[in-house]
Structure 1
């Protein structure tokens, strides 16, 4: 089996760090400052492959945009588990490459690993995707995420128009707030078209479980579900399996249309280039980096995949109308009354939870019409 050059490089870096016994981190990492001679070293860490047609590829596309900026050098390391391995990788980027800004992108990196590293290296900036940074956390740490549930809601509208069985399917990794928010937004978008629509969700248990993702997609197809979407690291298996079963699909993370030319309707995509370029520009200008960054369609942090040729004009028109209202700040997805799938009211009538409401980032329920358990 041929060696992966990047993996070999990563091993060598970690081995070197281990053989030297590590460096006196705080003392030997002076930090980077605006106007300093040299290049701003920036590290990106991925839990999976950079070409996974999913979560990691979306971040890698953002890193590629940063590479085009002047005065920067981008370091990348892929396939790093959500274990102490990520600590070793961050150590090596800082101590061997003088990285001054790190983007550990996977959800499980934040607590405790990023928080530990931020305390260990107070002069290095850490910005993590998806974590919920609080005032109690180190000031040189922070989190960023996007309101991609806006795009999931729009996907739900299209799925609602396309479904003949009124049964939708959702393959999901873990029942964490970000995933539940996407499932609920997708369902509420579809129920805007027809309140009787249901979404059956199957949790695989982890971010990358190709066999279970294929099994879940086939199980949904066997139940008469005709539109499937997902929230896993790489939608590739779900999208291709659904295509093989003759189902319609809505993508996630990046555009998977090339994988499903017959059934790809649209999708919810990240545009991390916006976030990463802003962070880098602020650091180069000597400005303090924000600790908590969020944004949606209006800010250009998320976007929708182009419509497939099979999507009718009525579906496009309704989704485009809602999209324009979301961009203008004139539409609220989580607006009461909303009940969960156990019949309990979770949002009272007259109550709006706008996108900036942190209550949404602690979501622990599934909406009425979702078949499944957290």
Structure 2
């Protein structure tokens, strides 16, 4: 079995991380796997084996089509697995041009499908051999949007090797480098500063936390077009001294060591692998009920769930945890327990079984 993964993203986000983990997991399990990614993307720098540069210029751009044809002719895959909406279109077009392979597409976001002929054509297309959602929430969105074909659900997964345990001394050094005192209670969140991640709500909630508690810090990890706006907001709320913006960071696993709890205040969310990573580090999570987050966070078990944009309730739940060490300990153990369900090995095995199923169909 020969599998070609296609991803067009230039950035390094959850989708690119998942495509790479699946590719590497398949290789480790004896599957001949190749990964075609954007020729100027960050994925190219992280993939060590069987990486093919894809000159992508747009979904229906002739350059994109021609370059994918070259890759397909070189690899001769049994299965093409498109990992984002932009890679699905050229993968479908090549099937209409006579290329024979099974096509799998993974839908990672809980955005509604655009009400356009192109979107409807893509997702209801008979040439997709399997359509996969990364959570029940994403699956339900597809069904509610009128997708009539069967939708598989395969959760995203993470390798436990991403769990980095630092010694107390290294943890102290890392805190010092971040401007965090040893006595500070640290709330953290990782993600791109884009509208649907809604860091504005988290920062507003944290303002109320600061009004109640001293020695508390908010560590925000990521980059994006709204980063400067969020820095400005923290200054306007007079909490900039308590908010640490790291920008893009490679050492997410290390940074999890300085956190006492994790927050995710998205308005929309397919699943959220950063929350999974936080849970693998045994962190309680305060999250909104957006998308797939309730499939990770169980209210009053490993954290709290709040309505989207309800910064007052988010602040209240953060403060409850700040004041209850026993609850933090209990939620921490429960987070780690739930995270077992989202191991990379589970994801790889389910995709491998899916590939075999559609090849013999």
> What's the TM-score bracket when you normalise by the shorter of the two chains?
0.3 to 0.5
Higher relative contact order (CA 8 A, sep 6+): 1
Q: TM-score, normalised by structure 1?
A: 0.38
